[in-house]
Chain A
Amino acid sequence: MMAMSPIDPRLQEALDGERDPGTLPLDLREAYARLMGAANLLQTLPAISVAARVMADIHDLKPERIRPARRLMRWLARPRAVTLRLRPAWTLALAAGLAAILVISTQPTNNPIPGPHQGVAHFVGRFPGARSVEVVGSFNDWSRGSLHLRDENHDGIWHGAAVLPAGPHEYMFVVDGERWVPDPLAGRYVDDGFGAGRENSLLIVRPAQASLDDDATLR
């Protein structure tokens, strides 16, 4: 706040009419004259007030007929100054909320929906004492480390699922990273062709959205 300089009591008395201005020292007399001049100026009204002139100009304007839609477009298009006052606590809370929404919305769903030429393959195997079980097959180019089964209850039953293209897939379980085992529940087996009498498990994935057209995927 700006500090006001105290007025001289003699000048104040003169302004209040309690002292003859002629008795004031020269510098106060000059100040008195300036203040009185300003007071007289404020008391003098213009012949035609500014407000009256502005209103007259407004009345002279012919009202333009604007369609509501156009008015709305203008309203939407017109730039407007927006004043945003933020409290740090609320701002941080809002940012945290938005981040949570973003993370949740980008989380993969627990219910993957197979495409029109895909189906869901479930794998289950009983391997008590195993440290790891994974599925390796034609659907992942026989590469390790892409489809691990889980034994959440530590009861020796390992299970997992994957969305795969509809059709036949050969595969095997790899236990503890070194032991290749056919799926005992596969029901279909085929000689692996390497001359050691080993068999791959065979899985035929049915399209989740079954139709005659989908059968074309199973060749």
Chain B
Amino acid sequence: MRLALVLMLVAAPLAAQNGGGPAGRLAGRVPPAALAAIDSLIAAAVAESLPSEPLVQKALEGSAKGVPTDRLVNGVRRSLLQLREARVIVGRAMPDQPAPEAHVAAVSAALARGLSPAIVERLLTVAPNEPPGPVLHAAADLVAHRFNPDSATDLLVEAHNKGLHGMRLLDVAVAADHELQRAGGRTHADALARVRALLPNVPTAEVPPPVTRRRTKGS
């Protein structure tokens, strides 16, 4: 019972994301002192055909956390700058077509996770017409676990060339991390080499099953 309520409450804001405009979603949530500045940043994103949802999310996040007004506005502005940088990168990787908003948002998120523009551009170029989120997150995962960025990118490009796409590229990063954690003092390079030898047959990550739980009092 409670789980269903949770799902309903989670679903409601998601529906609101699609239905309400940015101004409506920010009203009452963002401090009035920051609202005008944030509105103008969002308007700038819309005028430049950049995705505005990351800015709305950043404003809601900062407001929920009680971030002071100046830092809140700066956080949203920083996101806008990251989106602009992302669009330049997408434009370079896909010169013959307008940058899709989803690509721009995914690249912006990858930059926020610490991937270098050069790595991002290279990964985009490998499969420009595929959703870039999975491969970018896989690369960011490997870099976060201190794998050499270029070697990690090489591995992901090879995995893609051997037929792995989408979520399966995340499995490559997971497999490399597992190899690193095996007993025997394996180095990062060794771990990447082991995974490369497995390609394209890296283990598939387990998808969490549907929620099953005991009915408890009050639930």
Contact = CB atoms under 8 A, between A and B. Distances in A.
Contact of B144 (A163, A188, A212): A188
Contacts of B95: none
20 contacts: A114-B210, A122-B208, A139-B13, A142-B60, A142-B65, A162-B6, A190-B113, A192-B61, A193-B78, A193-B112, A194-B71, A194-B75, A195-B74, A195-B75, A202-B113, A204-B170, A206-B167, A210-B207, A215-B130, A219-B132
B10 interface: yes
Given A180-B65, A188-B141, A204-B137, A112 B167 contact: no
A121 B6 CA distance: 12
Nearest to A189: B144
Give the bracket for the number of chain B residues in contact with chain A: 35 or more
B16 interface: yes
A74 B152 CA distance: 77
A219 B61 contact: no
Q: Is the interface of B mostly helix, strand, loop or mixed?
A: helix
Contact of A146 (B3, B10, B105, B132): B10
Nearest to A204: B137
Nearest to B208: A120
A112 B2 CA distance: 12
Contacts of A107: 1
A120 B212 CA distance: 11
B198 interface: no
Contacts, number: 165
A191 B102 CA distance: 21
A12 interface: no
A215 B4 contact: no
Interface in A175-196: 180, 188-196
Interface string B52-94: 0000011011111101000110110011000000000000000
Interface of B: 1-4, 6-7, 9-10, 12-14, 16-17, 25, 29, 57-58, 60-65, 67, 71-72, 74-75, 78-79, 102-103, 105-106, 109, 112-113, 130-134, 137, 140-141, 144, 165-167, 170, 205, 207-213, 215-216, 219
B62 A111 contact: no
A164 B10 CA distance: 8
Interface string A131-159: 00000101111111111101010000000
Contacts of A218: 131, 133-134, 137, 166-167
